[in-house]
Amino acid sequence: MISAISAEPDPAGSILFVGRDAAGHWLVQGCKGQLEGRFISHTAAWAFARAECRGLPGARIVAALRPLIPAVSFEPLRPDECAIDRAA
């Protein structure tokens, strides 16, 4: 079942946080968990955040003051796990 998508912007506005995790990876995270990306540099992370904001009316970018906690682990797979062929 597909839920209805509102064409109206979020009245609270979206916030994208740009910062590093405890291991030093550059991350961009949406405040509501709707997006996360890992980047090789500060420049790449900020460029992605700016590009995403163009499609989110009222969105803003905030530099994270504390290490971000990745939603997706960067640890190697355990023996009982398997990777999918392609990411989304």
Determine which helix (DSSP H) or strand (DSSP E) holds 62, and give its type and residue range. strand 60-63
Residue type, 41: S
Backbone angles phi, psi at 9, to 5 degrees: -65, 155
Domain-wise residue ranges, the chain: 15-63
Closest by CA to 35, choosing from 72, 77, 83, is 72
Predicted confidence (pLDDT) per residue in 1-18, tens digit = 444 444 454 555 689 999
Predicted confidence (pLDDT) per residue in 69-85, tens digit = 998 877 787 888 777 76
**pTM value?**
0.72
pLDDT of residue 67: 96
Predicted confidence (pLDDT) per residue in 39-58, tens digit = 999 999 999 999 999 888 88
Tokens 């355990």 locate to 78
Separation of CA 57 from chain center = 17
Side-by-side strand order, sheet with 36-39: 36-39, 26-30, 15-20, 60-63
